[in-house]
């Protein structure tokens, strides 16, 4: 070993010139190395100096050179350059002033530096045996684990355990306790550190993943992975007042949330929140509120903001607005917005735009709302991964755009990194009619409740539009579980609407009934803004139609104030009563398409068509339905996948067959005989290779979407 070789060279000829460097982190034994060399020189009758001196007859052993001033380091370098003196200089790898770098370069040219590091288990065992007698394997393992083999820590811990009587017959007598004398040694070490370095060590002691700066690494108290050595962690925690560690816990909560460990984030945040004198409560509240929103409990997050009080949030007050507004507290949200002040950061500016944009969806203009939310998403883009909010601006902008049918805007603001963004993208693709692609984008579990609700609702939406009863039953099984774990808030209404229709389709309306009641109460609290209420009432109208509940259908139709939706509702109810005005149907269907509801528009036209007795009118409405059906990708359309596109007459027959009409009823609508209808059905069944009637219906529904 280089250290042993250096000692041997000194013993062999203590009067010979020798220039060397001893380098290592704190605690690796640099001072002990110089002490050993001093002993060797003095035994040979050589004078030893431990600080710089002009007396070149003495051996110069200089410790902690990283703390020396530049003039002294320059003097040492001039001595080293001559290679005529006996000079050994020890220093840490940091700090590294330029004068020390210059000295180190000269010393390295004279002799390879002695680089000291950690002991292995054998080294720890040898040091323990010298003080404690033959140590047990378990004691050696414990010492190595607690000290990470850092020589000075090993020696100090062994001595402290011996002096405190905790070791007998080479083993611990019980659970090890750090003796007070050793804790005080750590106190001295911490007191000598720069504040920034000490802060890093305290942060790591409480579990915050703080960057390991060079100063912290140079202390020798960190492992190779940057964690605090266990013995040092225990001592630092004992020496640091709780008032200093709680802000670290808030930072740890934030780090855990950003890493996706939501359980840990809530646990750490709660420790800070429940401590009356904790100085970093606002950060902890923001973390907890953001996590609770992901857990489907936005209302609980709003309660935390109320409890903390807006003044305590300072420049972050705007982040409370989405939670308050999303749970129906319009007046409180407006008060927070009026009292808030924008901070200079990207987060502050984005939070203000989000707050103002969301308020616009309730009391202002939809165009202004979309503009502000879209700008917030763009503003926070560079810092989005490090921001903890109730919801990210891009998701809120996309949800707002979905509510007013601006699918292109919704798609433009979303990225691909967040689960929430990917699910919202899949929702948009579904609305555009590409069910296969949307299904491929659908995420499987386990997801947090907020994402799981969207995923469950999306699965139901895809299966319902595909007319696949088996897939709908499977999707509903996932969705009904998701409903249990999510309370009602403003930003989940679009998913709730789809779930209500799905529940009606499978005969389980009661499963969403309580959520629908809560949603109505929420909208009442907000003054029933058409921006949010319209899409939900439209979905509830559809659910009532599916459930064949005229009273509910009429009630929800009467609640619609948006001209497009209100007109479509009136026309749809007339169609169900077989009062069909083809011009009104076409206009209403195209209005739905223009509002981002192309599938609903096509369905309205199709429902009207199958109730027409006039062949020309029916054909015209079927054409309208086909024109409003979104085109699937050319490379993978259902018809092409099956290789059997339907002819015009076959499509007309298929559209009526899947509604459940008899061959006689279909013949009457198409002015052909029931036998001819049966012939068309048999021909399609043979060409599609369907073994059963249900299989035929599944294929026909797929083809009718092409």
Q: Where are the domains of the chain?
A: 2-115, 121-246, 250-413, 420-628, 634-704
Measured from the Cβ of residue 11, the count of other Cβ atoms closer than 10 Å reads: 13
CATH of 634-704, one of 1.10.10.10, 3.30.390.30, 3.90.1150.10, 3.90.1150.150: 1.10.10.10
Structure tokens that stand for 497 in this block: 């609407």
Q: Where are the alpha helices (DSSP H) in 432-581?
A: 435-441, 449-466, 469-484, 493-505, 510-525, 530-546, 550-559, 563-576
The answer to whether 420-628 and 634-704 have equal CATH topology is no
With vertex at residue 686, the alpha carbon angle to CA 682 and CA 689, rounded to the nearest 5 degrees, is 135
The Cα–Cα gap between 343 and 380 comes to 13
pTM of the full predicted structure?
A: 0.68
How many Cα neighbours within 13 Å face the side chain of 702?
A: 21
Q: Which of 342-356, 418-432, 623-637 has the lowest average pLDDT?
A: 623-637
Express each pLDDT in 584-614 by its tens digit: 999 999 999 999 999 999 999 988 988 888 8
The answer on pLDDT for 116 being more than 50 is: yes
Of 17, 23, 16, nearest in space to 2 by CA:
23
pLDDT of residue 165: 92
Q: Which of 48-62, 135-149, 249-263, 308-322 has the lowest average pLDDT?
A: 249-263
Give the strand pairing for 167-168 and 171-172.
antiparallel
With vertex at residue 220, the alpha carbon angle to CA 217 and CA 225, rounded to the nearest 5 degrees, is 55
Q: Which of 77-86, 250-259, 280-289 has the lowest average pLDDT?
A: 250-259
Q: pLDDT: is 635 or 59 the higher one?
A: 59
**Torsions phi, psi for 486 (to 5 deg):** -135, 125
Our CA dihedral for 225, 227, 230, 232, rounded to 10 degrees, sits at 120
- pLDDT band at residue 234 under the 50/70/90 scheme: very high
The Cα–Cα gap between 501 and 336 comes to 36
Q: Which residue has the tokens 């710089």?
A: 52
Q: Where are the alpha helices (DSSP H) in 611-670?
A: 615-628, 638-642, 648-657, 663-670
Q: Which CATH class is domain 2-115?
A: alpha beta
Instruction: Identify the helix (H) or strand (E) that includes residue 166.
Output: none
* Mean pLDDT of the chain, nearest integer: 89
- pLDDT band at residue 702 under the 50/70/90 scheme: low
**Torsions phi, psi for 88 (to 5 deg):** -125, 125
Express each pLDDT in 517-544 by its tens digit: 999 999 999 999 999 999 999 999 999 9
Fold of 250-413: 1.25.40
For the residues 629-654, what does the mean pLDDT come to? 56
For the residues 225-245, what does the mean pLDDT come to? 85
* Residues above pLDDT 70, as percent of the chain: 94
Structure tokens that stand for 620 in this block: 């015209």
- pLDDT band at residue 275 under the 50/70/90 scheme: confident
**In the 8-state DSSP scheme, what is residue 222?**
B
**Torsions phi, psi for 23 (to 5 deg):** -125, 140
Which of 514-544 are b and which e, b meaning 16 or more Cβ less than 10 Å from the residue's Cβ? ebbebbbebbeebebbbbbbbbbbbbbbbbb
pLDDT of residue 636: 37
pLDDT of residue 290: 96
Q: Which of 238-242, 257-261, 309-313, 436-440 has the lowest average pLDDT?
A: 238-242
Q: Which of 489-498, 544-553, 596-605, 678-687 has the lowest average pLDDT?
A: 678-687
pLDDT of residue 643: 39
With vertex at residue 322, the alpha carbon angle to CA 320 and CA 327, rounded to the nearest 5 degrees, is 100
Which of 474-511 are b and which e, b meaning 16 or more Cβ less than 10 Å from the residue's Cβ? ebbebbbebbeebebbbbbbbbbbbbbbbbbbbeebeb
Q: Which of 71-80, 201-210, 251-260, 562-571 has the lowest average pLDDT?
A: 201-210
CATH architecture of 420-628: Alpha Horseshoe (1.25)
For the residues 45-67, what does the mean pLDDT come to? 93
Instruction: Identify the helix (H) or strand (E) that includes residue 84.
Output: none
Q: Which of 68-77, 103-112, 207-216, 652-661 has the lowest average pLDDT?
A: 207-216
The Cα–Cα gap between 185 and 515 comes to 61
Q: What is the DSSP string of 190-218?
A: HHTS-HHHHHHHHHHHTT------HHHHH
């Amino acid at each position: 070993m280089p250290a042993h070789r250096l000692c041997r060279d000194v013993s062999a000829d203590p009067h010979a010139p020798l220039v060397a460097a001893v380098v290592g982190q704190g605690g690796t034994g640099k001072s002990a190395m110089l002490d050993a060399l001093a002993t060797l020189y003095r035994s040979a009758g050589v004078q030893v100096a431990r600080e710089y001196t002009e007396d070149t007859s003495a051996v110069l052993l200089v410790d902690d050179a990283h703390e020396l001033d530049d003039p002294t380091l320059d003097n040492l370098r001039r001595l080293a350059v001559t290679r005529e003196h006996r000079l050994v200089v020890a220093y840490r790898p940091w700090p590294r002033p330029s004068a020390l770098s210059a000295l180190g370069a000269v010393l390295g040219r004279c002799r390879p530096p002695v680089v000291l590091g950690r002991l292995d288990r054998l080294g720890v065992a040898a040091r323990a045996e010298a003080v404690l007698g033959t140590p047990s394997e378990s004691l050696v393992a414990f010492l190595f684990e607690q000290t990470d083999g850092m020589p000075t820590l090993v020696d100090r811990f062994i001595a402290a355990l011996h002096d405190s009587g905790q070791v007998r017959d080479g083993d611990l007598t019980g659970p090890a306790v750090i003796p007070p004398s050793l804790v005080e040694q750590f106190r001295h070490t911490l007191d000598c550190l720069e504040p920034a370095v000490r802060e890093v060590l305290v942060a790591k002691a409480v579990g915050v993943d703080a960057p390991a700066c060079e100063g912290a690494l140079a202390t020798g108290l960190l492992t190779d992975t940057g964690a605090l050595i266990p013995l040092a962690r225990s001592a630092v925690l004992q020496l640091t007042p709780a008032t200093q560690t709680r802000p670290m816990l808030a930072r740890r909560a934030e780090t855990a949330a950003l890493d996706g460990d939501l359980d840990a984030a809530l646990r750490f945040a709660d420790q800070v929140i429940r401590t009356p004198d904790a100085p970093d409560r606002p950060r902890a509240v923001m973390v907890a509120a953001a996590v609770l929103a992901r857990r489907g409990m936005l209302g609980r997050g709003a309660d935390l903001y109320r409890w903390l009080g807006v003044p305590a949030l300072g420049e972050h007050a705007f982040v409370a607005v989405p939670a308050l507004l999303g749970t129906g507290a319009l007046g409180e949200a407006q008060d927070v917005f009026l009292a808030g002040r924008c901070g200079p950061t990207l987060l502050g500016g984005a939070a203000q735009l989000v707050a103002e944009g969301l308020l616009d969806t309730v009391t202002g203009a939809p165009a202004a709302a979309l503009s502000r939310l879209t700008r917030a998403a763009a503003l926070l883009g560079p810092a989005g991964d490090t921001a903890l909010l109730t919801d990210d601006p891009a998701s809120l902008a996309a949800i707002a755009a979905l509510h007013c049918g601006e699918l292109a805007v919704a798609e433009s603001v979303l990225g691909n990194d967040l689960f929430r963004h990917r699910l919202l993208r899949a929702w948009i693709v579904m609305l555009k009619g590409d069910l296969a692609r949307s299904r491929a984008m659908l995420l499987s579990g386990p997801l947090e409740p907020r994402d799981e609700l969207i995923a469950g609702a999306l699965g139901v939406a895809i299966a319902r539009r595909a007319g696949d009863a088996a897939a709908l039953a499977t999707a509903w099984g996932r969705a009904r579980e998701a409903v249990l774990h999510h309370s009602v808030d403003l930003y989940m209404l679009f998913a709730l609407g789809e779930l209500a229709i799905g529940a009606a389709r499978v005969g389980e309306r009661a499963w969403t009934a309580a959520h629908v009641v809560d949603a109505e109460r929420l909208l009442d609290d907000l003054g029933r803004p058409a921006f949010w209420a319209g899409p939900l009432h439209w979905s509830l109208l559809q659910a009532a139609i599916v459930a064949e509940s005229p009273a509910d259908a009429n009630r929800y139709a009467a609640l619609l104030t948006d001209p497009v939706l209100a007109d479509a509702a009136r026309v749809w109810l007339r169609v169900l009563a077989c009062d069909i005005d083809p011009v009104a149907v076409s206009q209403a269907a195209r209005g739905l398409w223009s509002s981002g509801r192309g599938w609903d528009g096509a369905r309205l036209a199709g429902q009207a068509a199958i109730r027409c007795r006039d062949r020309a009118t029916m054909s015209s409405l079927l054409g309208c339905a086909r024109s409003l059906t979104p085109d699937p990708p050319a490379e993978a359309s259902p018809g092409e996948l099956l290789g059997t596109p339907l002819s015009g007459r076959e499509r007309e027959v298929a559209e009526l067959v899947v509604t459940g009409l008899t061959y006689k009823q279909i013949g009457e609508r198409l002015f052909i005989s029931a036998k001819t209808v049966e012939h068309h059905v048999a021909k399609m069944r043979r060409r599609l290779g369907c073994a059963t009637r249900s299989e035929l219906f599944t294929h026909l529904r797929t083809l009718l979407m092409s």
